[in-house]
Amino acid sequence: MINKPTQRLILLFVIMITSSVLGATMGPRTVVEHATQQVLNTLENNAERIKNDPEAVQALVADIVLPRFDFELMSRFVLGRYWRDASDAQREAFTQAFRDLLVRTYARALDGYSGEDVRIPPQRIPDDTDRVNVQTEILQVDGPVIPVDYALFFRNAQWKVFDVTIEGVSLVQNYRAQFSDIARADGLDALIERVRTGAPGQLE
């Protein structure tokens, strides 16, 4: 089962990442700002669709999520040493399975959205690097402000997200701990299959 910190990360990730403009003409902070407003609008405008059609939810999430992530980089970080030892076929299979797992999980996380808003506090972001962190704050309807940091990497003329940290908990590190236990006990092929199928009691 995905633990509570991971579920919380996923919900807040959904709140943020859905900009249709991710490119060299926009800095990482601007990317996050545009993403914030667009995703909130998307959630509001598709409220009934999300509520009544599970397949439509996954399609919506796939449209929102897939173009915004560097899944190859995320997969490399998540697998750690297992990525280095994996064949090209295993790397491709894991990356696809991990991407599909996130889409399924994000779709369920939409059920937990309850009107949170996002603030991006003033911060200095270097303009001479290809890897940056953008700090944000989630304003809960009834609760404390939650700090969320987004790690973005500039590759192929685009800024893309490869990790998110909320209250000190990294999405990549959280999955890495779970996946490492399975890979060590059962092997990489078994891990790929469990990620692909979302085996009960293991991942979702």
Joined together, the tokens standing for residue 173 give 């590190």
Domain spans in the chain, listed from the N-terminal domain onward? 4-197
Q: In whole angstroms, what is the distance from residue 156 CA to residue 1 CA?
A: 35
Joined together, the tokens standing for residue 172 give 């990549």
User: pLDDT category, 1, cuts 50, 70, 90?
Assistant: very low
User: pLDDT category, 117, cuts 50, 70, 90?
Assistant: confident
How confident is the model at residue 176, as a pLDDT? 94
Question: Which residues, 6 or more positions from 104, have their beta carbon under 8 angstroms from its beta carbon?
Answer: 58, 198, 204
pTM value is 0.74
Q: In whole angstroms, what is the distance from residue 203 CA to residue 179 CA?
A: 9
Q: Letter for the amino acid at 21?
A: V
Mean pLDDT of 104-115: 67
Q: In whole angstroms, what is the distance from residue 124 CA to residue 100 CA?
A: 34
pLDDT > 90: percent of the chain: 25
Residue with more model confidence, 6 or 50? 50
How confident is the model at residue 16, as a pLDDT? 54
What length is written for the chain?
204
Closest by CA to 147, choosing from 136, 158, 134, is 136
Mean pLDDT of 97-115: 74
Mean pLDDT of 72-78: 94
Joined together, the tokens standing for residue 42 give 């998307």
Q: Is the pLDDT of residue 18 over 50?
A: no
Is residue 22 helix, strand or coil?
coil
Per DSSP, the residues of 60-83 read HHHHHHGGGB-HHHHHHHHHTHHH
**Segment among 8-12, 58-62, 83-87, 146-150 with least mean pLDDT:** 8-12
Over the stretch 119-174, which tens digit does the pLDDT of each residue have? Answer: 888 878 777 888 888 888 888 778 888 888 888 888 888 888 888 888 888 889 99
How confident is the model at residue 194, as a pLDDT? 93
Q: In whole angstroms, what is the distance from residue 187 CA to residue 180 CA?
A: 9
Q: Is the pLDDT of residue 201 over 70?
A: no
Joined together, the tokens standing for residue 119 give 């603030």
Q: In whole angstroms, what is the distance from residue 138 CA to residue 84 CA?
A: 36
Closest by CA to 60, choosing from 80, 79, 74, 41, is 41
Q: Is the dihedral of CA 176, 182, 186, 190 positive or negative?
A: negative
Over the stretch 23-54, which tens digit does the pLDDT of each residue have? Answer: 445 677 776 776 666 666 776 777 676 666 76
pLDDT > 70: percent of the chain: 68
Considering the segment(s) 4-197 as one domain, its CATH architecture is Roll (3.10)
